[in-house]
Amino acid sequence: MTTDPTPTASLADLTATRLTAGYAAGEFSPVEAALAVLERAEAAQARTNCFTRIAADEALAEAKESAERWRSGTPAGPVDGVPVTVKDILLMRGAPTLRGSLTSREEGPFDEDAPSVARLRESGAVFVGKTTTPEFGWKGVTDSPRHGVTGNPYDPRRTAGGSSGGSAAAVALGAGPLSLGTDGGGSVRIPASFCGIFAFKATYGRVPHYPASPFGTLAHVGPMTRDAADAALMLDVICGPDRRDWSQLAPVTGSFRAALDEPLAELRVAFSPSLGWAVPVAAEVAAAVREAVGRLAALGAVVEEIDPDIADPVEAFHTLWFSGAARVVQHLDAAQRALLDPGLLEICERGARYSALDYLAAVDTRMALGQAMGRFHSAYDLLVTPTEPITAFEAGAEVPAGSGHTRWTGWTPFTYPFNMTQQPAASLPCGVDGAGLPIGVQLVGARHADALVLRAAHALYGAGAAEIPAPPAP
């Protein structure tokens, strides 16, 4: 997604990196930025229904405190004064977490931040509001019984993707340059591809997560931003340790942001147009992704077109995912279950029928997949695929009309495998189709190669690969 780095642009259109530079130079204040972003948030909500709550009074109070810190030369951290939105799956102090469900209670107290929210708050972020999600984040599009349908910023009749669709639409329309999403099967990358923004799913455990997801170690927390540099900035903050997550990784040494400009010379890149599964990729998508791969080669990477030696793990993913969904609703009575999204209820009923042996067989498939990708990455530093084989389809539908798919996993074959393997993966825009809808390219690294994925994505931004038209002004 294109952004104007000059002070003459609306403050709502600036990246976090540009905003903090402006605060430091005294060009503008966090209060001015918050006012611009809040105005854009209201417009984005009217256009796409991407918010569950806009916290204008709280955001302005936080922006005023930030402005005082910048005036005194004592910013609290790297994102002090930067407007941020939070997917309504994650806990945020002072705001209800409803998860898109009519079964969620609105009564508080809401007195705890999720780890990533806590780290942003400690760094002085300005919280604009909470963004929409499908019920309990169960599918790859964003509509819910509680909050309705979230539309695409390029065409509200199309889906924003999911399950972090509200966050993607908010970032695309200038309602804050940073957003926190979650990704259990593609849920930051799918909407990033459909909405023309950047999203990053770090190695599992790199960003602490609490409460633990019912979907287990499939679910990651990740930055959704305007570009890779902002994601690296955000990751430097949110990967801070938190004792509530027993599965978090050891603290990082160094900075993701500081490592962005290392060269790509001799980077070994595997380009897999379909993962070897005969995925029907739309022609315009295939061409745009291939052009992005050519940009990597022009930057010095050594590119080979090759598929990893893996089979589609969708049935094993279904066992893990549907079992997790069944666990989410296990405590609900019959009257509450009647309030659920019908599609969610269907997969929960299926998930409840799996045996422990079924689940362990899926775990075996997952381990074999991880081992295969480990071998693959001994020969290749980076795997490149389309993020999605299609662009955004009609809003309010789980699958595209006439596709023959029955569940959302049918049309997103490039995302969920890398939740099973816990690898870092990013999506960035690489073009638009004939209808002007964004196309995404996915970069996947070996486990723990988060900095490398961000560096390659940043280089593609620098080479102009992600320059696409902005969505219509809301």
Provide DSSP, 177-219: SEEEEEESSSTTHHHHHHHT-EEEEPSTTSS--SSPPTTGGG-
> Which residue is it, tokens 């295939």?
286
Task: Extract the tokens encoding 35.
Answer: 């006012």
* Cis status, amide bond into 109, omega within 30 of 0: yes
DSSP sequence for 292-342: HHHHHHHTT-EEEE---S----HHHHHHHHHHHHHHHTTT--HHHHTTS-H
The answer to whether residues 126 and 83 touch, using CB atoms and an 8 Å cutoff, is yes
Is 469 inside a domain boundary? no
CB 52 within 8 A of CB 130: yes
Domain total in the chain: 1
**pLDDT at residue 108 in the model:** 84
* Domain presence at residue 471: no
Model confidence pLDDT, tens digit, residues 415-435: 999 999 999 999 999 999 999
Q: Sign (positive/negative) of CA torsion 35, 40, 43, 45?
A: negative
How buried is 398 (Cβ within 10 angstroms: 0-12 exposed, 13-18 middle, 19+ buried)?
A: buried
Q: What is the pLDDT of residue 9?
A: 60
Residue 4 falls within a domain, yes or no? no
Cα 45 to Cα 49, 50, 106, 274, 374: the distances in Å are 4, 5, 21, 35, 42
Q: Which amino acid is at 442?
A: Q
Q: How confident is the model at residue 278, as a pLDDT?
A: 87
Rounded CA separation 143/139 (Å): 9
Which of the 8 DSSP states describes residue 137?
G
Which residue in the block uniquely carries the two structure tokens 């549907």?
322
| Tokens standing for residue 28 | 């503008």
Indicate the burial class of 363 (C-beta count within 10 angstroms; 0-12, 13-18, 19 or more): middle
Half-sphere exposure of 99 (CA within 13 A, CB side): 20
Residue 65 lies in a domain: yes
Please check whether residue 389 is in contact with residue 281, taking contact to mean a CB–CB distance below 8 angstroms: yes
Domain that holds residue 246: 11-462
Structure tokens at 72: 């005194």
| Ranges of residues in the chain whose predicted pLDDT is under 50 | 1-8
pLDDT of residue 75: 98
- Say how many C-beta atoms besides its own lie within 10 A of residue 282's C-beta: 15
pLDDT digits (tens, 9 = 90+) for 145-174: 999 999 999 999 999 999 999 999 999 999
**Is residue 468 included in any domain, yes or no?**
no
CATH code, 160: 3.90.1300.10
The structure tokens listed for 290 are 């291939």
**pTM of the full predicted structure?**
0.97
Is residue 160 domain-resident? yes
For residue 25, give the amino acid letter: A
Whether residue 188 lies inside any domain: the answer is yes
Beta bridge mates, 444: 383, 425
For the chain, how big is the Rg over CA atoms in Å?
A: 20
DSSP-based three-state secondary structure for 268: strand
* Residues annotated as part of the active site: 87, 163, 187
Does some domain include residue 1?
no
CB 77 within 8 A of CB 123: yes
